Amino acid sequence: MDAFAAGINDFARQYPETISDTVRAVLPVTPQDVIAHTTRVMTVFIADTSECGALLPGFGFSDQPVASNGWSLGSSYSASGNTMLLANPHLDWRGLETFYESHFLLTDVNLYGKALVGSPVLQIAFNDHLGWTHTVNTMDGCDLYQLKRAGATLDGGYLLDGMRQPFTTTTEIIQSRQQDGSMTSEFLLIRRTKQGLVIEKDDQMLAVRFALLETSLLAGMNRQWWEMGHARNLEEFQDVLQGQHLPLFNVVYADADKHIMLLFNGIIPVRTTGNGAFWRTPVSGDDSNLIWSRIHTYADLPKAIDPASGWVQNSNGAPWYMTLPFLNKDLYPPNIAADITNNRELRGLQMLNAHQQMSYEELIAAKHSTRALVADQVLDDLITAARGNDSRLLLQAADVLDHWDRRYLAESRGAWLFSTWFEKWLERTIAKAAVADPDYSFTSDQLVSGLFYTQPFDATQPLTTPHGLADIPLALLALQDAAGELQARVALDVEWGEIARLRRGRVDFPGNGAGTALGVFREIVYEPDEDGKFKSFSGDTYIALVEFSQPVRAQVLTTYGNASQPHIPEIGDQLPLAAKQQLRPAWRMLDEIEANLAMREILRR
């Protein structure tokens, strides 16, 4: 930690022209700053994946939900007989979620991987013996408690089990360094209940209880990642995991000894009552029985080791879906995980089930698949209904969609029409539900439900459900809207890559890939740009395909490049490969590094 902080400060002194005034104000960085930053990032992740996110806005994450793909293929499923690992986090390409790629070639380990900017250790990595990746899981690590005042003012305290309790109050001094180097101080009064920190919002008084802040486990988080990178086999790796210092994330694992594993990991409270839905909304603050004090042990957590299917996977769904046959969710507490899945994960399950064995080349192809599962679920219904209508615009739209390859390649024609229709379909369906029920609230798990489909997702039929349009007249209205809107700007059969662009700095290429909701495994999300096009801003952050052969074979890509400042050549320099759906070799051996050396710098203590 000391060396990491010192390295930041040394870089700032050596290259002051690269440091903005805003950043310069926080220098010098201390080890305590690094710990505070990594704690903040994990707290934001927890809030973002729980009900607490709505209460704590402005933490620095984008509105785009965090997502990832992680697969491990065992020796029986791998065509070569070697285990293989797919690491594929999907985060925002800016801010706190930015990844950097790094390599540690040390006397005792050859470790390659990624970490979030500000982390002193690799968080997704592989060595000569094993590797792992993370996906954001469906655990709930933060709870809200609806408090009742015991009197007319806060001085009267709050009610717990019908009895008045005083708030515990402290005053913190928040010091901020200004750009001119001066310091300002602000006094912050903090109230706490037995549940946790008190926040007032919209005439409500709520207590927030973060599992990662109720134990001392988080203090060992960075050390645990470091030790994971030094493990040499499954036994050593599990010994490290049992420390339970990582506050969330699935752990998807493979090794050279032909073992694979998926662990639903996290600092997860033991809640003695209620299911996941119960705890996803504020619970009573007047019931002490709802104040949990323990966390689930490693033995409690759902996991699969060397399953009969020969593979494990997660794309941000519930842990039961990590392999086939699914785990029996009745063996676990009903509130340990949200019971959800998504069309991207269902598309991944389809691809895995379609192979008896998978080669390294087939794994690369699967990773880059842009086929839209939603198109396979509803497009035939939509085209048939449109052709049964006398609207000329709907007939034109039906022809375009009928000729579409159902993929999101740069050259795909019809993809933009389908995407626009999909957004209109969601908007109209959600609006209809809100009219029918004023208390209705949309959640992303409904995207595979009977709200949209005649046959909703059924865990007993995961490869064929959901399917069918639940409301065909509504879907046709959405298609009329989409075709009219698109035709006013471009041709109905405009190529996907004409509008969707892979952009970073001055680099600009036709895009491929699309979002989770469409059931596209190759997730790249686009947002409007100044010129009317759409630019990439989230999705495939990092890709690593690792085969634990002798020697290890690995191809990788940091999609947006290993830099963020506009004048650095590495910003966007990997987008040309992303545009061609290609990866690059991971140079891990000394002779490979020497042959491709761009700069040599000797660091001295």
Residue 25: pLDDT band by 50, 70, 90 thresholds? Answer: confident
Q: Report which of 188, 157, 195 is spatially closest to residue 171, judged by C-alpha positions.
A: 188
Compute the distance between CA of residue 31 and CA of residue 117 in angstroms, rounded to an integer. Answer: 15
Compute the distance between CA of residue 466 and CA of residue 343 in angstroms, rounded to an integer. Answer: 9
CA–CA distances in Å: residue 354 to residues 52, 90, 324, 366: 39, 24, 12, 11
Compute the distance between CA of residue 246 and CA of residue 135 in angstroms, rounded to an integer. Answer: 13
From 62, 68, 78, 419, the catalytic residue:
68
pLDDT in tens, 185-238: 999 999 999 999 999 888 889 999 999 999 999 999 999 999 999 999 999 999
Compute the distance between CA of residue 142 and CA of residue 248 in angstroms, rounded to an integer. Answer: 11
pLDDT in tens, 277-292: 999 999 999 999 999 9
Residue 525, beta-bridge partner list = 538
Compute the distance between CA of residue 526 and CA of residue 517 in angstroms, rounded to an integer. Answer: 13
Residue 545, beta-bridge partner list = 86, 555
Q: Are 157 and 193 contacting, i.e. CB atoms less than 8 angstroms apart?
A: no
DSSP 533-558: SEEEEEEE-EEEEEE--SS-EEEEEE
Q: Which residues are annotated as a binding site?
A: 140, 143
Q: Which residues are annotated as a binding site for Ca(2+)?
A: 140, 143
3-class DSSP state of 507: strand
Give the H or E element holding residue 544: strand 542-547
What single DSSP character describes residue 437?
Answer: -
Compute the distance between CA of residue 532 and CA of residue 525 in angstroms, rounded to an integer. Answer: 16
Residue with tokens 């995961």: 462
CA–CA distances in Å: residue 311 to residues 72, 251, 345, 413, 551: 6, 14, 14, 34, 22
Class of domain 32-142+219-362+537-600: alpha beta
- pLDDT the model gives residue 77: 98
Compute the distance between CA of residue 238 and CA of residue 236 in angstroms, rounded to an integer. Answer: 6
Compute the distance between CA of residue 153 and CA of residue 67 in angstroms, rounded to an integer. Answer: 43
Compute the distance between CA of residue 273 and CA of residue 214 in angstroms, rounded to an integer. Answer: 19
Which CATH number describes the domain made up of 143-213? 2.30.120.10
Residue 68 catalytic? yes
- pLDDT the model gives residue 175: 85
Q: Is the dihedral of CA 116, 118, 123, 125 positive or negative?
A: positive
Over 70: is that where the pLDDT of 64 sits?
no
DSSP 370-382: -B-HHHHHHHHHH
Compute the distance between CA of residue 490 and CA of residue 505 in angstroms, rounded to an integer. Answer: 26
Residue 58: pLDDT band by 50, 70, 90 thresholds? Answer: low
Mean pLDDT of the chain: 94
Over 70: is that where the pLDDT of 363 sits?
yes
Residue 429: pLDDT band by 50, 70, 90 thresholds? Answer: very high
Q: Are 455 and 350 contacting, i.e. CB atoms less than 8 angstroms apart?
A: no
pTM of the model: 0.95
- pLDDT the model gives residue 63: 56
pLDDT in tens, 373-390: 999 999 999 999 999 999
pLDDT in tens, 142-186: 999 999 999 988 889 999 999 999 999 999 999 887 767 788 999
Residue 65: pLDDT band by 50, 70, 90 thresholds? Answer: low
Residue 125, beta-bridge partner list = 113, 132
User: How do the domains of the chain map onto residue ranges?
Assistant: 32-142+219-362+537-600, 143-213, 373-520
Which CATH number describes the domain made up of 373-520? 1.10.1400.10
pLDDT in tens, 118-151: 999 999 999 999 999 999 999 999 999 999 999 9
Compute the distance between CA of residue 196 and CA of residue 436 in angstroms, rounded to an integer. Answer: 37
- pLDDT the model gives residue 567: 77
Other CB atoms within 10 A of residue 579 CB: 18
- pLDDT the model gives residue 60: 47
Residue with tokens 């973002």: 48
